[in-house]
Homo-oligomer: A and B are copies of this chain.
Amino acid sequence: MASEHTAKAFDSDLQDLTRLVSEMGGLAERLIVDSVDALVRRDVALGQKVVAADAEVDKLQRIIEERAVLTIARRQPMAVDLREIVGAMRVATDLERIGDLAKNIGKRVAALESDFHPLKLIRGLEHMTDLVQSQVKTVLDAYAAHDLPAAMTVWKGDEEVDAICTSLFRELLTYMMEDPRNISFCIHLMFCAKNIERIGDHATNIAETVFYMIEGQQIMDKRPKGDMTSFAATIPGN
């Protein structure tokens, strides 16, 4: 960037962007917690609130994208500065997807009419959500602080979430086999668990973005994967 003036203008643009991403991240975290709270407590109104609030997340993504593109066009940043802007856009894309997944959980609350309320499953889902939400929080903090080691912890920690999801799927299948009246309820929980697991995947995507911003290249290692839910459904069929 040519002048000191441009450099200052860029810094100010970048600060705005980072602030917007942080606002969007806070909102997405809220939606994760609220959607699963709504599910656990069968709180239809809270579920609908999540569905409505997702529009705000979508709007923030559009704003971040527009600001990012304008900043690139106006300030012509190079190298590390450019990566900062691209990083903000990528994180916003992941947060938008997280919002969608929480919204889908929120939608399902209204559909849960059964009296069936297996506490062990609900606790499992809550535990998984706690883990994922803490990963989202940690990785957003790592993004804001440019803390690569913290981001890498999240990147490696996704395995545990996947393992819990797989074990939840197995249990849900058992309940379904035991009593067909549980099937409809259990399918909803399966889709919700899968959504939470996917939110965890987006947290690892954000960790990869932090790596890219700091190291200037895409991460190449294979991430450890504990997700066997594509296979878990076969077990009772054997």
Contacts and interface: CB of A to CB of B under 8 A. Distances in A.
Interface of A: 62, 65, 69, 72-74, 76-78, 82, 85-86, 93, 97, 104, 107-108, 110-114, 173, 176-177, 180-181, 183-185, 187-188, 190-191, 194, 218, 230-231, 233-238
A177 B173 contact: no
Copies of this chain in the oligomer:
2
B230 A111 contact: yes
Contacts of A69: 72, 82, 85-86
Contact of A237 (B65, B104, B113): B113
Interface of A, helix, strand, loop or mixed by DSSP: helix
12 contacts: A62-B218, A65-B86, A69-B82, A69-B86, A76-B76, A111-B231, A111-B234, A113-B238, A177-B183, A184-B235, A184-B236, A187-B190
A187 B233 CA distance: 7
A21 B97 CA distance: 21
A173 B176 CA distance: 11
A213 to B, nearest CB: 13
Contacts of A190: 187
Contact of A78 (B73, B184, B188): B73
Contact of A110 (B76, B187, B231): B231
A97 to B, nearest CB: 8
Contacts of A183: 173, 176-177, 183, 236-237
B184 A233 contact: yes
Given A73-B72, A73-B82, A113-B237, A184 B194 contact: no
